[in-house]
């Protein structure tokens, strides 16, 4: 029977606090038939879950669209729940029943509804890192039918209601371009309130807003000097009345048991300072101070538009041991981002002190030098009287190892657990093959994503940095989209990129931008924006989300930002086509860099012009997708001019590329900048450079992501496999052989002799080089979307076996449902099995060149193993 299942609104199931005035709805087709395509849908939206009165009825719409269907009914009201359902027909003549009802609930769409003020504890000092508490009470005199809290903060906040935690989101309100965008969250608290007296409690921490940031520059108070709460609770009663409880000067404030909390440095908590009942009705708060009302712009408030950070996994330690230096250390077996939950028993005043590290040194001792100034320290002071369990509140660490510096009595492994934290995203992709080391590499890529997708795409989760470096994000985004459902995550971050983009179109190195305005300690900080390969995230990231999810709206919203970046470069490029000015980060941390340099040997003007060409081509495609034909034609012409100028500047008449580096040759192949007559020579030179390096890569952040692709797309599949499967230094699998559980920042982060790269910048959880994961899915397994039908509406399933692998498979949850591809070598050739979700199709391309268009269902194919060159 045909059914519509897994109903979603804006990528979420039954979301609260939707800020979109035209939310988008989607569903998945479920049926036992094959080759199923939706032929029509009918949507109904109602204020009632029984649909006794329908607000919007589309009628039968002849369309195969089942993803991101835009609401087009009457204007939506604030703080209102809308129920919706869908029924569909398919190409087999079936009509589904109405789906189970889903709902979405709007946030505060009309700013005039706000009654709250930003309130701050009196006397808070700019350099204070102490947690502060606020409270109020209210009396409710009726039967409560509906209650919501809408809240945010300057800093971070946690809420309680009648002594119970509100929600399970962490680090709210998240990190945005605070001067321009401040998210608020919506909570359903209907079941937490009661008739009579009720109490609201809030705990504030300095967080990203006023805490320590950019450790190597020693910056804090970047957005303000005081934490503050913004809170509005709306209660509706059975008799139709509505009551609002809002933050104002009547709230009371006090210090709390969080003596110190900083993102980088950790948390100090004194349980003796707890006040039982402080967030319950009837507590005597006469000794507390009145809250102070702050003047703050409410127009920047925006409903939550990214996924929440939550506790995702609990990992027990795998061992507790003593190092050669006498340190007691827990090993959790996995490098991760999060914190440690522990249970302890002892006397009042006794302490638990924990420190965190990613790695042990060559002697097996606890190693923290690469954390730089980050203390990564947790101190808990016991209140005594029984077992006490603790988790931090406003900090997190990147770690595998935890040193127990102080603990009452003998610590036991079962008293500790690592809590993995990252933004809430559906796990969408899996890859496996016959080579265990590649499977371990895939594992490491996934865990670097988890460790660095904590509200924003950070570079690393452990040291005094953890910033949203744009270059790291753009090289990794395609891989990220396979592993996790990242559309909402990047949508939120790209809005901040556009918000922090400078008026002239230049794009900061990091988003949110916390480097502009910093003391000019070096050339890099004198212009912390507009580096090629980094700022190009403004174009590459929205285009990638569009390709992976079919999300046209992200192109609509980011198009101004995308265009502004390309025009910024055009205004500074020689004759509008060759970009040879400005400061660039280059092929970051490439092995061919000069001694003492972070940037590789590839000339910056070549990289800059190559990326300028690439972004211009993607901008032209984006304009075409949006129906902006004039822009599309104009940027296509500009792209052609850039390519011609690039070829004149960087290729000799005989076809030699002027820069003899791996990255130069990779980029010109990947971005199609090679004259057709010189492609063969360019590929051969890249192979020669590879041989000269002993079959190893010497590339950095910008060259590495495209290396395997540059080879496989140019008839050198086995050379790409040979590169991927290298096990000695430097290589992807070298890290695996060194027991890495995440991706390293440097190929030589840990050298074969046991020494490490400079502690100044040596993260062992840094996803940039994990961008090869894209090639695992798209080439090794062979699962991809057709660029002409984005969002996996039509898939390309093209397995490309090699490297001695006997089998490989990939599974991916597309917007239409699960897709899978698996291939096995057999005596007669290759056996390929594909699964295509309903309402989608796939072009299956076998190694012998045979092409077949298939519909939904599971099918198998056999062919000879010989790869056909194209």
124 in the same domain as 211: yes
User: Same domain for 119 and 233?
Assistant: yes
Distance CA 782, CA 763 (A): 31
Note whether 796 and 816 are same-domain residues: yes
Q: What is the pLDDT of residue 518?
A: 80
Q: Give residue-wise pLDDT tens across range 343-357.
A: 999 999 999 999 999
Rounded CA-CA distance 187/44 in Å is: 26
Helix (H, G, I), strand (E, B) or coil at 210: helix
Section 689-695 average pLDDT: 97
The CATH number given to whatever domain includes residue 58 is 2.60.40.10
In the numeric block, the tokens 């900061």 are attached to 508
Q: What DSSP line would sit under 338-394, residue for residue?
A: EEEEEEE---TT-EEEEEEESEE-TTS-EE-GGGTT---EEEEE---SS-EEE--SS
Q: Print the domain residue range for 22.
A: 3-105
The domain that holds 372 is classified in CATH as 2.60.120.260
Kindly tell me the burial class for residue 870, based on how many C-beta atoms sit within 10 Å of its own C-beta (0-12, 13-18, 19 or more).
exposed
List 319's β-bridge partners, or say none.
331
Maximum C-alpha span of the chain: 87
**Closest among 759, 783, 792 to 373, alpha carbons compared:** 759
Mean predicted confidence (pLDDT) in 397-408: 98
Cis check for the bond before 173: say yes or no (omega within 30 of 0): yes
Q: Is residue 845 part of a domain?
A: yes
Query: Would you say 475 and 702 are in contact if contact means Cβ atoms under 8 Å apart?
Result: yes
pLDDT of residue 173: 98
Domain identity same for 99 and 127: no
Residue 256 — φ and ψ, nearest 5°? -125, -170
State the CB neighbour count (10 A cutoff) for residue 635. 24
Residues 6+ apart with CB under 8 A from 653: none
Are the beta carbons of 91 and 39 closer than 8 angstroms?
Answer: yes
Domain-embedded: residue 759: no
Is 855 a domain residue? yes
Helix axes 629-650, 662-670, angle to 10 degrees: 150
Q: Are residues 46 and 176 in the same domain?
A: no
- pLDDT over 80 at 401, yes or no: yes
Residue 107 has pLDDT above 80, yes or no: yes
pLDDT at site 522:
67
What letters, b where the CB count within 10 A reaches 16 and e where it falls short, cover 479-516? bbbbbbbbbbbbbbbbbbbbbbbeeebbbbbbbbbbbe
Report d(CA 317, CA 321) in Å as an integer.
Answer: 11
Mind listing the pLDDT tens digit for each residue in 429-480? 999 999 999 999 999 999 999 999 999 999 999 999 999 999 999 999 999 9
- Residue-wise pLDDT for 207-219, tens only, equals 999 999 999 888 9
Residue 337 and residue 378 in one domain: yes
> How confident is the model at residue 521, as a pLDDT?
61
Burial label for 163, CB within 10 Å (0-12, 13-18, 19+), is: middle
Catalytic residue among 105, 745, 811, 822: 745
Domain boundary among 38, 73, 105: 105
Rounded alpha-carbon distances, angstroms, from residue 347 to 404, 679, 744: 18, 74, 42
Alpha-carbon Rg for the chain in angstroms: 28
| Cis status of the peptide bond prior to 512, with omega within 30 of 0 | yes
Enumerate residues 6+ apart whose C-beta is below 8 A from 514.
Answer: 213, 214, 219, 222, 467
Environment class of residue 694 by beta-carbon count within 10 Å: exposed (0-12), middle (13-18) or buried (19+)?
A: exposed
For residues 167 and 280, membership in a common domain is answered with yes
Domain count, the chain: 4
- In a shared domain, residues 94 and 150: no
User: Is 684 labeled as catalytic in the residue annotation?
Assistant: no
Mean pLDDT, rounded, for 304-323: 98
- Asked if residue 387 is part of any domain, the answer here is yes
745 is catalytic: yes
> Band of the pLDDT at 595, cuts 50, 70, 90?
confident
Q: In whole angstroms, what separates CA 232 from the centre of its chain?
A: 29
pLDDT of 167 strictly over 60: yes
3-state secondary structure at position 556: helix
> Do both 230 and 120 map to the same domain?
yes
Give domain status of residue 89, yes or no.
Answer: yes
Q: Is 82 within a domain?
A: yes
Calpha distance 829→219 (Å, rounded): 61
Confidence band (pLDDT; 50, 70, 90) for 525? Answer: confident
Coil, helix or strand at residue 88: strand
Which three-class secondary structure state does DSSP give residue 442?
A: helix
**Predicted local distance difference test score (pLDDT) of residue 96:** 98
425 vs 483: CA distance, rounded Å: 9
287 with 145, same domain?
A: yes
For residues 26 and 104, what is the distance between their CA atoms, to the nearest angstrom? 12
CA 519 to chain centre: 29
Tokens matching residue 73? 């009914």
Grade residue 519 by pLDDT with cuts at 50, 70 and 90.
Answer: confident
- pLDDT digits 0-9 by tens, 500-518: 999 999 999 999 999 998 8
Instruction: Give me the catalytic one of 465, 621, 811, 822.
Output: 465
Per-residue pLDDT at 594? 86
Domain end, chosen from 76, 105, 134, is at: 105
* Gap between the Cα atoms of 414 and 81, Å rounded: 44
For the beta sheet containing 783-785, the strands, ordered from the edge strand earlier in sequence to the opposite edge, are: 783-785, 794-797, 841-845, 851-854
Residues 258, 381: contact at Cβ < 8 Å?
Answer: no
Point out the domain boundary residue: 60, 77, 105: 105
Question: What average pLDDT is seen over the chain?
Answer: 97
224 and 144 within one domain = yes
Residue 570 lies in a domain: no
Does residue 153 sit in the same domain as residue 64? no
**Predicted confidence (pLDDT) at residue 795 exceeds the cutoff of 70:** yes
d(CA 453, CA 474): 14
Give SS3 for 868: coil
Q: Mean pLDDT lowest for which of 353-367, 528-542, 715-729, 747-761?
A: 747-761
Instruction: Report the C-alpha gap between 783 and 443 in whole angstroms.
Output: 18
- C-alpha–C-alpha distance, residues 260 and 265, integer Å: 9
Q: Which neighbouring-strand residues pair with 254?
A: 133
pTM listed for this prediction: 0.97
Look at residue 516 and tell me if it is in a domain: no
Dist. CA 592–CA 209, nearest whole Å: 39
pLDDT of residue 177: 98
Whole-number pLDDT of residue 868? 46
Is the Cβ–Cβ distance between 740 and 764 less than 8 Å?
yes
């Amino acid at each position: 029977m045909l059914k519509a299942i897994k109903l979603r609104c804006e990528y979420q199931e039954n979301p609260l606090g939707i800020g979109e005035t035209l939310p988008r709805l989607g569903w998945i087709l479920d049926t036992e038939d094959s080759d199923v395509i939706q032929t029509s849908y009918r949507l109904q939206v109602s204020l009632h879950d029984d649909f006794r009165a329908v607000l919007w009825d589309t009628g039968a719409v002849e369309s195969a669209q089942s993803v991101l269907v835009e609401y087009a009914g009457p204007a939506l009201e604030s703080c209102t729940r809308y129920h919706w359902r869908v029924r569909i027909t398919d190409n087999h003549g079936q009509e589904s029943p109405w789906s189970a009802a889903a709902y979405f609930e709007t946030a505060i769409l009309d700013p005039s509804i706000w009654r709250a003020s930003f309130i701050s504890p009196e006397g808070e000092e700019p350099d204070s890192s102490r947690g502060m508490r606020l409270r109020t009470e209210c009396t409710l005199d009726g039967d409560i039918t509906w209650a919501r809290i809408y809240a945010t903060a300057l800093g971070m906040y946690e809420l309680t209601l009648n002594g119970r935690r509100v929600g399970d989101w962490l680090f709210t309100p998240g990190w945005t371009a605070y001067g321009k965008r401040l998210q608020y969250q919506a909570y359903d608290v209907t079941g937490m309130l009661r008739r009579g007296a009720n109490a609201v409690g809030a705990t504030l921490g300095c967080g990203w807003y006023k805490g320590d940031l950019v450790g190597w520059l020693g910056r804090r108070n970047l957005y303000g000097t005081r934490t503050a709460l913004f809170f509005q609770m709306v209660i509706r009663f059975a008799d139709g009345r509505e009551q609002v409880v809002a933050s104002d000067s009547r709230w009371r404030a006090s210090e709390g048991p969080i003596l110190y909390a900083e993102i980088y440095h950790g948390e100090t908590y004194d349980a003796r300072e707890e006040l039982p009942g402080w967030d319950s009705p009837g507590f005597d708060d006469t000794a507390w101070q009145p809250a102070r009302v702050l003047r703050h712009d409410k127009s920047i408030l925006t409903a939550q538009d990214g996924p929440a950070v939550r506790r995702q996994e609990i990992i027990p330690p795998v061992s507790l041991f003593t190092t050669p230096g006498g340190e007691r250390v827990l090993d959790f077996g996995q490098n991760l981002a999060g914190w440690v939950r522990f249970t302890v028993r002892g006397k009042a005043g006794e302490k638990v002190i924990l420190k965190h590290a990613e790695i042990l040194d060559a002697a097996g001792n606890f190693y923290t030098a690469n954390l730089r100034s980050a203390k990564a320290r947790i101190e808990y002071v016991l209140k005594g009287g029984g077992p006490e369990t603790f988790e931090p509140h406003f900090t997190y660490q990147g770690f595998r190892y935890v040193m127990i510096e102080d603990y009452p009595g003998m610590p036991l492994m079962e008293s500790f657990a690592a809590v993995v934290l990252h933004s809430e995203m559906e796990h969408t992709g899996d890859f496996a093959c016959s080579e265990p080391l590649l499977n371990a590499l895939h594992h490491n890529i996934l865990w670097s994503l988890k460790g660095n997708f904590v509200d924003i795409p950070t570079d690393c989760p452990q040291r005094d940095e953890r910033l949203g470096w744009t270059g790291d994000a753009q090289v990794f985004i395609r891989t990220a989209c396979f592993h996790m459902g990242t559309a909402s995550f990047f949508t939120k971050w790209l809005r901040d990129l556009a918000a922090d983009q400078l008026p002239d179109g230049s794009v900061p190195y990091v988003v949110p931008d916390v480097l502009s305005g910093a003391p000019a300690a070096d050339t890099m900080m004198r212009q912390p924006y507009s580096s090629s390969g980094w700022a190009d995230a403004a174009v590459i990231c929205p285009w990638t989300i569009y390709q992976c999810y079919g999300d046209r709206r992200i192109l609509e919203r980011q198009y101004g930002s995308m265009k502004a970046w390309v025009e910024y470069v055009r205004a500074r490029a020689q004759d509008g086509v060759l970009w040879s000015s400005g400061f660039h980060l280059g092929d970051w941390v490439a092995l061919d860099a000069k001694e003492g340099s972070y940037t590789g040997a590839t000339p910056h003007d070549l990289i800059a012009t190559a990326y300028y060409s690439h972004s211009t081509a993607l901008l032209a495609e984006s304009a075409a997708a949006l129906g902006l034909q004039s822009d599309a034609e104009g940027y296509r012409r500009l792209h052609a001019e850039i390519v011609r100028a690039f070829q004149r500047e960087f290729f000799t008449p005989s076809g030699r590329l002027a820069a003899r580096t791996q990255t130069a040759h990779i980029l010109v192949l990947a971005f199609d900048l090679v004259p057709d007559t010189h492609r063969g020579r360019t590929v051969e030179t890249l192979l020669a450079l590879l041989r000269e390096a002993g079959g190893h890569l010497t590339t950095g952040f910008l060259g590495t992501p495209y290396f395997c692709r540059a080879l496989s797309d140019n008839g050198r599949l086995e050379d790409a496999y040979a590169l991927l499967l290298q096990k000695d230094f430097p290589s992807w699998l070298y890290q695996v052989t060194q027991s890495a559980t995440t991706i390293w920042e440097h190929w030589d982060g840990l050298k074969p002799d046991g020494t490490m790269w400079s502690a100044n910048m040596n993260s062992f959880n840094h996803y940039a080089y994990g961008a090869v994961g894209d090639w695992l899915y798209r080439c090794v397994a062979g699962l991809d979307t057709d660029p002409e039908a984005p969002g996996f509406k039509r898939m390309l399933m093209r397995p490309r076996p090699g490297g001695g692998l006997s089998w490989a498979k990939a599974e991916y949850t597309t917007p239409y449902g699960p897709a899978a591809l698996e291939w096995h070598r057999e005596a007669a050739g290759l056996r390929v099995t594909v699964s295509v979700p309903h309402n989608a199709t796939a072009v299956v391309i076998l190694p012998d060149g045979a092409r077949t268009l298939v519909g939904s269902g599971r099918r198998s194919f056999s062919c000879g193993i010989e790869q056909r060159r194209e």
